Structure 1
């Protein structure tokens, strides 16, 4: 692509690089200049304009953006994504419904390394989405880019982006209770989380904070998955709630996570039904580590102990103002 100032008389067929205000009209950047535009420029005594002129080996920014987006998402319906029509070298990729983003990070980095003019920005891997949320945006920065580079980028990033939709439809919430405890406080916040993921909270039970009572309630659940919220924080892998899961015939995959708030989460299963022991901060609608685990589990993505360990990088979330023991001490006067 050739870029730079040219005499107006030689600008027909070139792309206007910068918007220009003329008497009675505005010529916007990116406009392909024709004979009428040249006449208007000359009538306004403009003698020179800055333009981009594509060469035979170049692809127009919109055609390039379309090609890149279609390579990233070759089957939008199957990927749960929508592609906008290219405009000014940009195509937006949005979610068709709730889910979490699955991407091939290595492929996307390789795509972005081919030519600085070819770019893709996405949300982080496993980001929870709602319908219409932007998953990524393809942007060709220059007015044209090498066709060969576009083809290379398409090849390395083909099918690298998709939305994983929810596979579980219902959940049960079991809350344990102690004298003076929080009771069902937080139920609405948890129900709202599930609704955002296209699920329903079909059952809520309040049981004593005892292994036997909790195990009995767990064994009776018929929903796709079960959430446990304890009156007293789970402080050990063999505390009441994890032990109740084992007593009900299940197993505990992991207790504790390096995300704050959200440290006191545990993850397990009973008869192939996912079980998530929620930290107390899940009573609040604010983002916490349980949200990261819940969204993946709901969408059928296996979450291992190693996966949870890796969440620690970037896992320091917003400070809770009401935390009883603030981690930042007040300055002494």
Structure 2
């Protein structure tokens, strides 16, 4: 790069975006890369505090910040992401559709340890909507050695999955079983079903069938078999999840021959959550808090299953870091620390 005085720069071509900041009015690129300086631009540049500008002095081992940011974005982007145009040396990645963000914490760390490389993202497993901002890439210097970007590209390739991707939630046919003698015998009105129906439909799935069961192991197991026979791709069994002797839902699920992943999750609310599989069909035992708490372990775990991910006990255990809901008077999830 060659440094020249702004007053002598008419006809020169900018090699980077130049930001103008007027407090309370504007903050953004006033002149874009490639702009040819005109006489009328000189007062504007001086008002921006620019006494000098830099003109292109290409060297074979250096690349411009815009190209570097774009190559970084392309290296980390998997499915479900859209790259915008370079802006002030940055590339923003946005969601192509609604879904769940999957990000490699190890990959993000590996890239950011490279000198001059920046990758900033949302948290792993963040629920996103179409057009939501997901991540940004840039480099610190205006010009960066190409070998660093090549190393970044090779680093990204070393991971078996993309550093960043948005996975859509698949539409599941969900079988719903409401347990509890008080509901089964009609002594109280079921309030669990409407809550679960709303959540399931909000995730793009449908309730295949709704059954009520007494607090009886055999009856619960028969209800599970009925849901499987109907073609349920996911089964939710609500209630009866505590250590009370009358709460037999965990026993019914465990003794039906299901592969138990976990009974208990380090998440509050939702500690008595259960996850098991019969073949490829996930069965979730839902504690009472799911009925009245806005966000619980169920909201952290179910969307991941709906992307097609098969969860392990380790996946559930890792939720302990960030698994404490602050139970704010007005729930703002996912725009909070819960599940992060």
Q: What's the TM-score once normalised by structure 2's chain length?
A: 0.77
Shift of the alpha carbon at 1:35? 4.2
How far, CA to CA, are the matches of 1:146 and 1:241 in structure 2?
Answer: 61
CA distance 1:256–1:320, shift in 2 (3 Å): farther
Shift of the alpha carbon at 1:239? 4.5
User: Which among 68, 72, 78 is matched to residue 76 of structure 2?
Assistant: 72
Preserved contact between residue 54 and residue 60 of structure 1 (Cα < 8 Å)? no
Preserved contact between residue 130 and residue 196 of structure 1 (Cα < 8 Å)? no
Aligned residue for 1:260? 268
Aligned residue for 2:217? 211
Shift of the alpha carbon at 1:228? 1.0
Shift of the alpha carbon at 1:112? 1.3
Aligned residue for 1:150? 149
CA distance 1:9–1:102, shift in 2 (3 Å): same
Secondary structure of the corresponding residue to residue 319 of structure 1: coil
Preserved contact between residue 241 and residue 286 of structure 2 (Cα < 8 Å)? no
Match status 1:292 vs 2:291: no
User: Which among 51, 62, 80 is matched to residue 49 of structure 1?
Assistant: 51
For 1:314-329, what aligned pairs fall within 5 Å after superposition? 314-319=322-327
Q: Deviations over 1:4-52 (max 9, x none)?
A: 783420472234644389xxxx98154545242xx11457895962434
Preserved contact between residue 175 and residue 183 of structure 1 (Cα < 8 Å)? no
Aligned CA-pair RMSD: 3.3
CA distance 1:314–1:20, shift in 2 (3 Å): closer
Shift of the alpha carbon at 1:173? 1.3
Number of residue equivalences = 308
Shift of the alpha carbon at 1:224? 0.3
Match status 1:19 vs 2:20: yes
Shift of the alpha carbon at 1:97? 3.1
Aligned residue for 2:172? 169
Preserved contact between residue 241 and residue 285 of structure 2 (Cα < 8 Å)? no
Preserved contact between residue 111 and residue 156 of structure 1 (Cα < 8 Å)? yes
How far, CA to CA, are the matches of 1:98 and 1:202 in structure 2?
Answer: 23
How far, CA to CA, are the matches of 2:147 and 2:262 in structure 1?
Answer: 48
Aligned residue for 2:100? 100
User: Which among 171, 187, 193 is matched to residue 187 of structure 1?
Assistant: 193
Aligned residue for 1:63? 67
Aligned residue for 2:109? 109
Preserved contact between residue 95 and residue 132 of structure 2 (Cα < 8 Å)? yes
How far, CA to CA, are the matches of 1:240 and 1:44 in structure 2?
Answer: 75
Aligned residue for 1:223? 232
How far, CA to CA, are the matches of 2:200 and 2:113 in structure 1?
Answer: 38
Preserved contact between residue 6 and residue 42 of structure 2 (Cα < 8 Å)? no
Preserved contact between residue 211 and residue 240 of structure 1 (Cα < 8 Å)? yes
Runs of 4+ in 1 over 6 A off after TM superposition: none
**Which shifted more, 60-69 or 177-186?**
177-186
